[in-house]
Amino acid sequence: MADSKLRILCIGAHPDDCEVCIGGTAALWAAAGHTVCFVSATNGETGHHEQAGAALVTRRLAEARASADVLGVQSLVLPIPNGRIVPSLEYRAVFIKLIREFAPNLILTNRPNDYHPDHRYTSQLVQDAAYIVTVPNNAPETPPLRYNPVIAWWPDTFRKPTPFQPDVVVDIGPTVRKKYDALHRHTSQMYEWIPWNQGVLEQVPAGEAARRAWLFDRRSKRDRELADRFRDGLVARYGPKRGQSVQYAEAFEGCEYGAPLDAAAVERFFGGL
């Protein structure tokens, strides 16, 4: 694993989760020549108020591919039905095979304490696959890895049982527009399902340019809030001048089940960003 080019596996529960949580950092990695793959653990078949089933799955797969193309990353949507993923032995084997075949240096996912069962169980399955990916007699049809990848979580606002505590905070100002250009490709979610679910569907503009502006203004608040929330980490990472001026950020916390996200790993994975 001495190659300077990284292999980064981002595993979200739904086809737009990775873009929302780490799209800016992924674009930075891709621009640096690293291999990044966005995985959706479920197929998104229930994520809409009007469409469902195979038609919606086909639509969301196309949106995921178009979004990934914008960021310069790979896209994979697993055929697990939306809302039906559970931390079973069957799905653990799926995750072990996925991780072994991609052979990542770094795996990113959400934390296991989350409001959405798909999020919780996706995170648990990633953690259940940790270390086991090195054990030959578990899922023996796929050759084992000879190392345990680093696993890190992206942030949330849940405080129980423990709040998110970042080990690294990244300035995504250089790629924040690309991040929202990628999210713009998720039409079914950004302009239909999520606005409907949040009761603001009537606020969605009709025109292309107006939609882009509306999406950026509404959704990039998360990235601005992360920059303010973890300002100390930005200052520590980039120095006072740049750290105080960062407007948009993404952050990551190491999971103890993977290899350690220690100072050397932080430098390896994030040092050039």
CATH homologous superfamily of 7-270 = LmbE-like (3.40.50.10320)
Is residue 1's pLDDT more than 60? no
Contact 33, 141 (CB under 8 A): no
Determine how β-strand 106-109 pairs with β-strand 150-153: parallel
Q: Mean of the per-residue pLDDT values for the chain? A: 97
CA–CA separation, 246 and 46 (whole Å): 37
DSSP, collapsed to helix, strand or coil, labels residue 76 as strand
**Cα angle vertex 61, ends 50, 224, to 5°?**
85
| Residue 3 confidence class, pLDDT cut points 50, 70, 90 | low
For 84, counting Cβ atoms within 10 Å of its Cβ (0-12 exposed, 13-18 middle, 19+ buried), the class is middle
- Section 149-153 average pLDDT: 98
Please state the rounded mean pLDDT for residues 62-75.
98
Residue 225's pLDDT band, with cuts at 50, 70 and 90, is very high
Cα distance between residue 129 and residue 127, in whole Å: 5
Strand partners, 106: 8, 150
The residues spanned by each domain of the chain are 7-270
What's this model's pTM, rounded to 2 decimal places?
0.96
Percent share of the chain, pLDDT over 90 = 98
Across the range 134-149, mean pLDDT stands at 97
CA atoms within 13 A on the CB side of 50: 10
Q: Where are the alpha helices (DSSP H) in 103-175?
A: 117-129
Q: How far is CA 141 from CA 39, 87, 101, 131, 148, in A?
A: 21, 20, 11, 17, 18
